[in-house]
Amino acid sequence: MPLFLICGLVLFSAQDLYTPGTIPNKVALHFDDTPKPWDTNLDQRDNGAIYSFMRFFDDKVMTMPSGYSKAAIEKIDKKYSKIAKKINKTRKNYLNQQTVIYILSESFSDPRRVPGLTVNPDPIPKIRSLKTKTTSGLMLSSGYGGGTANLEYQALTGLSLTNFLATLTSPYVQLVPGSSYVPNVSNSWSIKNAIHPYLPLVYDRSTVYKKMGFQHFYSLYSPKVKYSSRIGKNPYASDESAYKDILLQLNKTSKPQFIQTPTIQNHLSYNNWYDKYTFDIKSTYNRSSWESTEVKTYVQGLNYTDDSTEKFIEALNKIKRPITVVWYGDHLPGIYDSEMKDSKNLLKLHETDYFIYSNKASKSHSTKLTDNTSYTSPNYFQALAAEHMNTKVSPFLALLTELREQIPASSNALAKNGSALWEPNENKNIYLNNSGEQINNSDLTKEQKQLLKDYKMVQYDITRGKHYVKNDGFMKVPSK
């Protein structure tokens, strides 16, 4: 068969690779294809180069919303421009005049919230105390044991996986590399860098960060992070090292900047890494010895994170210019198999911790928002941080602000394990109120439905539409 025909067949089949019931999907399942889009090299080793290559060409991202047109987008623009103007009357600060740091703390979540688990003494007393003094709460995560980049994508772009088709399992791998327009939170700064003390190709971050406009991406390869020390037998760089690299960037310039940092210290699996264990851990569930070892190691790692985070905050407080940190755990580690078997625990095992903190040099240092902050989702961090810092907003952030007030947290399907992230037929949106209770779709108000409709229209325009919002000021945050 001619080579061009083979290539054409591969590309044609790729269009339906993730669509249940199609021939390409059935063939992939027959050959035990288990997608690992977070690591292209691993995916190729386990599933072969052809299937790994095909994943980049499944472009079923969103269905065009009914009524999508330039006129429809202009109507949305006018609507939220008015709301932004109203919000901005009381906002005194400008985002581009201060430094903002996004820190995704790998697998961080309070183990004391895990049903049936008791941990003594408290492994995270310093972060727990900090959360009582600043804007904080719980973040609803779609992932469990994996899916880091999906949460990261939502935090940076303000877009939600709830609006995508189930066939889009990894925006970083399937969507961003082929996109010509990727607006994100970093657009407000002229200086913006990313730091991740791990491999740059995981989740194709090298391509993604470049598309987002980051000037440098510091990883274990060039340009290389300066700090990458480890704790005990932990194979991953410590959180203390990640924080040191952030402080290094802060010391390079006194100008406002944006820094994006996913940490890696608490990545699974957790196999007796540390020399000393100081916590008594018990569970009402009949846990396996493997689970007990994993939890023991994980909890000890959280305590190291607690210590290094406090030191990092203290270092920020010594800097004489305004800095705000958006800090959040991406998902729980996949080490609670016994608890996950109990269906009533599903939601609890998808709640991570977050806080937004401004240093002493910031006007927002003592701010602690309490209105609809108990629960949130990563797509709201831009709007929530703007409210915390009292900064002016774009029409897009006005939309997110309105939506957050009506629907405090949302997520697509809640994964039951790492591989479940790649089972698109399980896609079911979850909406929570400020008490963490699920809002049934049938109970959504007319206003909530309209907000969701507007949101989906804008997201389609950005990701698969004509990019009408690109030049009309909808995405532009006011600057000074």
Averaged pLDDT score across all residues of the chain: 90
pLDDT of residue 385: 98
Evaluate if residue 39 carries a pLDDT over 90. Answer: no
Residues 196 and 219: beta-carbon distance below 8 Å:
yes
Report the pLDDT averaged over residues 110-131. Answer: 98
Is pLDDT above 90 for 322? yes
> Tens of pLDDT along 342-386?
989 999 999 999 999 999 999 999 999 999 999 999 999 999 999
Position 365 scores a pLDDT of 98
- Residue recorded with tokens 């960037």: 249
The pLDDT value given to residue 21? 63
Domain residue spans of the chain: 3-57, 70-470
- In DSSP terms, 438 is beta-bridged to 432
In the prediction, which pLDDT does 33 show? 66
Any idea which residue has 């469990």 for tokens?
Answer: 144
- 45 confidence band (pLDDT: 50, 70, 90): low
3-state secondary structure labels for all residues of the chain: CCHHHHHHHHHHHHCCCCCCCCHHHHHHHHCCCCCCCCCHHHHHHHHCHHHHHHHHHCCCCCCCCCCCCHHHHHHHHHHHHHHHHHHHCCCCECHHHCEEEEEEECCCCCHHHCCCEEEECCCCHHHHHHHHHCEEEEEECCCECCCHHHHHHHHHHCCCHHHCCCCCCCHHHHCHHHCCCCCCHHHHCCCEEEECCCCCCHHHHHHHHHHCCCCEEEECCCCECCCCCCCCCCCCCCHHHHHHHHHHHHHHCCCCCEEEEECCCCCCCCCCCCCCCCCEEEECCCCCHHHHHHHHHHHHHHHHHHHHHHHHHHHHHCCCCCEEEEEEECCECCCCHHHHCCHHHCCHHHEEEEEEEECCCCCCCCCCCCCCCCEECHHHHHHHHHHHHCECCCHHHHHHHHHHHHCCEEECCCCCCHHHHHCHHHCCCEEECCCCCECCHHHCCHHHHHHHHHHHHHHHHHHCCCCHHHCCCCCCCCCC
| Residue 309 pLDDT greater than 90, yes or no | yes
Work out the average pLDDT over 118-139: 98
Looking at residue 442, its pLDDT comes to 87
Q: Which residue has the higher pLDDT, 34 or 475?
A: 475
Q: How far is the C-alpha of 171 from the C-alpha of 382, rounded, in Å? A: 19
Contact indicator for 159, 459 with CB cutoff of 8 Å: yes
pLDDT grade for 419, boundaries at 50, 70 and 90? low
Which among 182, 95, 70, 10 has a CA at the least distance from the CA of 391? 95
- Please report the pLDDT score of residue 414 as a whole number: 82
CA dihedral 291, 295, 298, 303 (to 10 degrees): -170
Report the pLDDT value the prediction gives residue 46, as an integer from 0 to 100. Answer: 64
Q: Taking Cα atoms as reference points, which of 1, 23, 2 lies closest to residue 14?
A: 23
The percent of residues above 90 in pLDDT, for the chain, comes to 79
Distance CA 312, CA 400 (A): 30
Token couple for 293: 């070892």
pLDDT for 266-299, tens place per residue? 999 999 999 999 999 999 999 999 999 999 999 9
**What is the β-pairing status of strands 323-329 and 351-358?**
antiparallel
Question: pLDDT for 162-195, tens place per residue?
Answer: 999 887 888 998 899 999 999 999 999 999 999 9
Digit-coded pLDDT (tens) for 71-95: 999 999 999 999 999 999 999 999 9
Predicted pLDDT of residue 303: 98
Alpha carbon distances (Å) from 461 to 64, 171, 185, 429: 9, 16, 17, 21
Give the per-residue pLDDT at 383.
98
Q: Tell me the C-alpha to C-alpha distance, in Å, between residue 236 and each of 227, 228, 239, 388.
A: 12, 8, 9, 33
Residue 50 has pLDDT above 80, yes or no: no
Contacts of 408 (CB under 8 A, 6+ apart): 372, 373, 374, 375, 376, 380, 432, 433, 434
Bridge partners for 119 per DSSP: 281
Q: How far apart are CA 172 and CA 102, in angstroms?
A: 17
- 478 vs 47: which has the higher pLDDT: 478
Its pTM surpasses 0.85:
yes
Task: Report d(CA 279, CA 119) in Å as an integer.
Answer: 7
On the question of pLDDT at 253 being above 90, the answer is yes
The confidence score (pLDDT) of residue 6 equals 46
Supply the pLDDT for residue 54.
Answer: 58
pLDDT band at residue 424 using 50, 70 and 90 as cut-offs:
very low
Structure confidence at residue 240 (pLDDT): 98
Contact 181, 467 (CB under 8 A): yes
Question: Tens digit of pLDDT for each residue in 132-169?
Answer: 999 999 999 999 998 999 999 999 999 999 999 887 88
CA distance linking residue 290 with residue 288, whole number of Å: 5
**Domain 70-470: CATH superfamily, name plus number:** Alkaline Phosphatase, subunit A (3.40.720.10)
The pLDDT > 70 percentage for the chain reads: 86
Q: How confident is the model at residue 31 (pLDDT cuts 50, 70, 90)?
A: low
